[in-house]
Amino acid sequence: MYLSPANFTPLLGLTFKIDSYLFKGDPLGYNLHSFLSLFLTSSMLYMFLRCYTSRIVALFGGILFIISPATVGVTSWFSTRHYLEGMFWAILTLYLIKKDTGGGNTLLYISSAITYFLASLYKEVYVILPVVAFFIAYGDVRRKLAKTLPLWISLLIYIPYRLYMLGGKFGGYPNSDFSIRGLIQNLVSLPYITMDMLFGKFWLIGFLVLFSFIFILKERPVTYIIVLILYVVLLVPIVSVNLSMTPMELRFFFHVATFLIIIAATGAQHFKGRAFLYSGFLPVVFIAIFFCWYHKAVEARGLYMHYREQTMAAVSELVKNKDKPFIISTAPELCDLNWYFNGIKKMYHLFYGTEIKTKVIFPSFFKYNPPALIQEVSDTRKEIDSPLNGLLIRDVSERDYRKGPLSVDISFDGYYFRWEFGPVQGPYTVMMRRKDEFYFPYKSIPSKGNYLFAPGFADLLYFRVLYKGSDGGEIVSPEFEVRFPSRGKYSYKAS
């Protein structure tokens, strides 16, 4: 696993190391691992909810957690299991703080610091946990600080450790927008996006349930202010990400969905003295949410399975044609497929001793590759199946797109990469490849940003920048190269 500002998850790599040692390439073991993680995390959530609610309400909360579309998403996609396993340690941390009612239990005190540090090493989204723990801890400000002190100490250890591991740089996903305008726009839109991602076309039901709770509970205003503050805190790790609202992004809302379940469960306990609400209203709410989430979860699960089938078909083609020079990828473009197929080649070499040197072509972006690579494919097309011949019949010259208006300003220092594109706001598509690879697109890139490439990711990378003009025509930059680690600048401007 490469380290980067968006991928500083060392414990995820460790879990895959263990799985690969135990199960090699057998997917059954990886599935069992994921379901075990789901069982342990949902059980931990039940135990935590029991600190605040009755058995039946805690059970309902656990069921909603399991059926949540976000939970289904992180369980279905093995490489996002660190969200699920990090949640186990995060909930355990809150549970330990809750159990330490007197504040004098040294074992619980130290344990909460360790479990919080583990949660952060699984996924940095859980770094915000000290703030959450502070608000849910009982007592005045002084008592709250005393009970959460181990978490704040762990945070002070985690931050310099992370900076050291990442070469002193902060950052995020390539499609992150850290501008003030971008952060405000994302923050304003995230409540609706949250409901849409979790409830889909039933998003209105989510808002109705929320406002029903507010109307019925009639808590003090300070309670709702605290809940609002906690919600904003939970959005901090994802507020910079430009989301396209696809099921593959459900992982970003996993911790938010879990927080909503906890709030709903603890709020439901206040109905216990009102028989009609406790025995009538709550079951209706539970059934409504269960129905909505089941529908959304089945939809998400079906899409994940479809993506998996497409990807596995592409992997099968790669292995079957391991002695041929090229294949055409049919895998969905959900991640850097060059990186993915390179990983597949390494796995087959490690587990089965099979050498695969076949290069993978991504047909939608084939024409943007340098003429030498295109010619290499053309020279060998007689050895290749008809789909690739069909690809080569198309005009792969540069006559169908323009070189401007476009400005590209890039600087790099070591593995740190900054960019600014113009003249439009974006988003842009950045095509990237290593030497002897074909271009693969990174889409929805903002016009300005920075990224920290992982040492070992590549010694040499080639880039091209693409966006569509107002008339729908493609505008593409020339190819430029960056050697890592090095320092330099690249500028391009065409009208």
CATH of residue 476's domain is: 2.60.40.10
Half-sphere exposure of 31 toward its Cβ, with a 13 Å CA cutoff? 3
Consecutive sets of 10 residues in the chain, 495 residues long: mean pLDDT of each? 58 88 87 94 95 89 94 88 95 90 76 94 91 83 87 92 72 70 84 84 76 65 78 86 78 90 78 66 82 88 87 90 87 83 88 90 87 81 54 48 85 88 85 90 84 81 88 86 90 88
Does residue 21 share a domain with residue 161? yes
Residue 84, pLDDT score: 95
Residue 39, pLDDT score: 96
Indicate the residue among 287, 304, 321 that finishes a domain.
304
Does residue 240 share a domain with residue 119? yes
Does residue 215 share a domain with residue 83? yes
Tell whether 311 is covered by a domain.
Answer: no
Q: pTM to 2 decimals?
A: 0.84
Tell whether 475 is covered by a domain.
Answer: yes
Residue 170, pLDDT score: 62
Tell whether 203 is covered by a domain.
Answer: yes
Q: What are the angstrom distances between the C-alpha of 301 and each of 69, 73, 193, 215, 354? A: 8, 7, 19, 34, 32
Tell whether 452 is covered by a domain.
Answer: yes
Indicate the residue among 304, 320, 342 that finishes a domain.
304
Q: Is residue 431 within 8 Å of residue 439, measured between CB atoms? A: yes
Domain count, the chain: 2
Tell whether 346 is covered by a domain.
Answer: no
Domain span holding position 70: 10-304
The contacts of residue 326 (CB under 8 Å, 6+ apart) are 358, 359, 360, 361, 377, 380, 384, 388
Q: What is the rounded distance in angstroms from the CA atom of residue 306 to the CA atom of residue 158?
A: 38
Does residue 233 share a domain with residue 127? yes
Q: Exposure string (b/e) for 96-132, b if CB count within 10 Å is 16 or more?
A: bbbebeeeeeeebbebbbebbbbbbbbbbbbbbbbbb
Tell whether 131 is covered by a domain.
Answer: yes
Indicate the residue among 267, 284, 304 that finishes a domain.
304
Tell whether 45 is covered by a domain.
Answer: yes
Only one residue has tokens 């080639």, namely 462
Q: What is the rounded distance in angstroms from the CA atom of residue 446 to the CA atom of residue 427?
A: 5
Does residue 234 share a domain with residue 97? yes
Tell whether 110 is covered by a domain.
Answer: yes
The contacts of residue 9 (CB under 8 Å, 6+ apart) are 1, 82, 121, 122, 123, 124
Peptide bond just before 423 cis, omega within 30 deg: yes
Does residue 406 share a domain with residue 291? no
